[in-house]
Chain A
Amino acid sequence: MEIRCKVNRKAITIEVDCTHTLARVLREQLGLMGTKISCEQGECGACTVILNGKAVNSCLVLAPAVDGCEISTIEGLAEDGELHPIQTAFIEEGAVQCGYCTSGMIMSAKALLAESPDPTEGEIREALAGNLCRCTGYTRILRAVSLAAKKLQALNHAH
């Protein structure tokens, strides 16, 4: 069936198989390979994208259900060749090792910081509880999200 939606601020119309998930459409039809598929059962968070402002597991969303929705993926964060402050924070804190969980982590962080620009560590942990990392451990990732919050706040003050 044909659906219309916005992906990374761009309106698109696309023919989807109604049994496919959003994760599959993003990767296989739109070529947005930054969204990772790992557990495919909503436990690892590698496929996290932002759907109408909320972080969701795109492996648990049916493609036809996003008709009329707005979707942001990791590819939509950088603007004019400039990495998003959350992305630079992850690099600066060394919060990336193999990188497989990173896009999901960053999308969860993005949704969190949009809702609470100055989160407590508890809030960061809660927002990232559904994102599993199997190599770095979480300390640097938590630090990166705190740093990203500071960067974004500084940017907002500057504007």
Chain B
Amino acid sequence: MDSFRYVAPTTFDELFLLLSSHSSEAALLAGGTDLINDIRVGARSPKLVISLGKVRALSAAIEEGSGGALIGALASLSDIARNGFLRRKFPAVAEAANLIGSKQIRNQATMAGNICNASPAADTLPALLLYDAQVNIIGPNGRRSVAIASFVRSPNQTCLAATEIVESIFIPHHAVPSASCYVRFSRREGADLAIVGAAALVSEANAVRLALGAVAPVPFRAREAEAILSQGVQDPANWERGLAAAVAVAEPISDLRASREYRLALIKVLAAEAVSSSLEKMKMWGCS
């Protein structure tokens, strides 16, 4: 690997000082499962790697609150995937975390890292979009919160300034009882990225939310499909129209994993599966 210096600040003050003086040539290290690979293949060549692991004020905790769940920047995907509160209240989020990489990867990787990497195929993004999650950001000038939908700007680009970091992710409770689900299709479990990912949420009020990943530059909510599906999923004509609306807004590319046409065909299958599974969960749980 290219040469770089490594520092592990313990306070926000030290961290922000480092970021302010080295911002253009520094890389932040949390789980490292993306960064180390990027450095190794030369996709990134930081002069300074700043580890976040010893910053005392950064948390690895998953906090249950009356308003929702607060996921610390250092919480691992394993902990998120296994957290009982998340699995009950925000199942799509826990399921998405559990589909990333292998057990070894999930033990290291963080959800904050997954959203900061801002891959078009990032599995946690569709799930977080369902719940209008908030990204809590901290920098030398203080804190701010950004809706997850505006946090990711374009592939691998977020709205973070060079001196800012993600402190936590807040997922507010859905107002009415709901169930959700994240499904994806990939060539091999345990290693590969999503060819298409779909997250759905259904609520007692029959409202449907649908978010898609890996079919556009950034994961997004399929709003028109949501509006149509919310008019009734039992009516077969309406169901078909809703799914078609999800396909219509996607703009997938062809790459080594799949062609554009294959992805378009998959959207319908996975969106249907995500909504149906969420409806099943609602029935099974008798609404939680």
Q: Is A43 among interface residues, defined by CB-CB distance under 8 A?
A: yes
Query: What class of interface size applies to chain A in its complex with B?
Result: 20 to 34
Which of B102-110, B159-167, B241-249 makes up part of the contact surface?
Answer: B102-110
Determine whether the beta carbon of B107 is less than 8 Å from that of A42: no
Docked Cα-Cα span, A139 to B49, in Å, equals 42
Determine whether the beta carbon of A41 is less than 8 Å from that of B105: no
Which of A78-86, A125-133, A150-158 makes up part of the contact surface?
Answer: A125-133
Docked Cα-Cα span, A18 to B40, in Å, equals 13
Docked Cα-Cα span, A111 to B49, in Å, equals 29
Instruction: Say which residue of B3, B6, B189 sits within 8 Å of A62 (CB atoms).
Output: B6
The contact string, 1 if C-beta is below 8 Å from chain A, for chain B 18-47, is 000000000001001100110010000000
Docked Cα-Cα span, A127 to B6, in Å, equals 31
Determine whether the beta carbon of A57 is less than 8 Å from that of B51: no
Q: Is B284 among interface residues, defined by CB-CB distance under 8 A?
A: no
Determine whether the beta carbon of B190 is less than 8 Å from that of A130: yes
Docked Cα-Cα span, A41 to B5, in Å, equals 21
Instruction: Say which residue of A18, A55, A67 sits within 8 Å of B104 (CB atoms).
Output: A55
The smallest C-beta distance from A120 to any residue of chain B, in angstroms, reads 15
Instruction: Say which residue of A55, A60, A111, A126 sits within 8 Å of B32 (CB atoms).
Output: A60
The contact string, 1 if C-beta is below 8 Å from chain A, for chain B 60-98, is 000000000000000010100000000000000000000
Q: Is A65 among interface residues, defined by CB-CB distance under 8 A?
A: yes
Docked Cα-Cα span, A129 to B104, in Å, equals 9
Determine whether the beta carbon of A45 is less than 8 Å from that of B33: no
Given contacts A1-B6, A18-B6, contact A64 B107 (CB under 8 A): no
Query: Which residues of A lie under 8 Å from residue B287 when comparing CB positions?
Result: none
The smallest C-beta distance from A105 to any residue of chain B, in angstroms, reads 12
Query: Which residues of B lie under 8 Å from residue A131 when comparing CB positions?
Result: 102
Query: Which residues of B lie under 8 Å from residue A41 when comparing CB positions?
Result: 37, 40
Determine whether the beta carbon of A19 is less than 8 Å from that of B1: yes
Instruction: Say which residue of B6, B53, B78, B104 sits within 8 Å of A48 (CB atoms).
Output: B104
Q: Is B4 among interface residues, defined by CB-CB distance under 8 A?
A: yes
Instruction: Say which residue of A48, A111, A112, A130 sits within 8 Å of B101 (CB atoms).
Output: A130
Q: Is A93 among interface residues, defined by CB-CB distance under 8 A?
A: no
For chain B, residues 169 to 210, give those with C-beta under 8 angstroms from any C-beta of chain A.
189-191
Determine whether the beta carbon of B190 is less than 8 Å from that of A62: no
Q: Is B8 among interface residues, defined by CB-CB distance under 8 A?
A: yes
Query: Which residues of A lie under 8 Å from residue B261 when comparing CB positions?
Result: none
Interface residues of A (CB under 8 A from B): 1, 18-21, 40-43, 45, 48, 51, 54-57, 59-62, 64-65, 67, 108, 111-112, 126-127, 129-131
A42-B102, A62-B49 provided; 11 other pairs, C-beta below 8 A?
Answer: A18-B6, A20-B1, A42-B104, A45-B102, A45-B104, A54-B76, A60-B33, A61-B108, A62-B6, A65-B53, A108-B104
In the A-B complex, the 10 residue pairs with the smallest Cβ-Cβ separation, listed nearest first, are: A130-B102, A129-B190, A18-B6, A54-B107, A43-B191, A57-B104, A64-B6, A19-B1, A130-B104, A60-B36
Interface residues of B (CB under 8 A from A): 1-6, 8, 29, 32-33, 36-37, 40, 49, 51, 53, 76, 78, 101-105, 107-108, 189-191
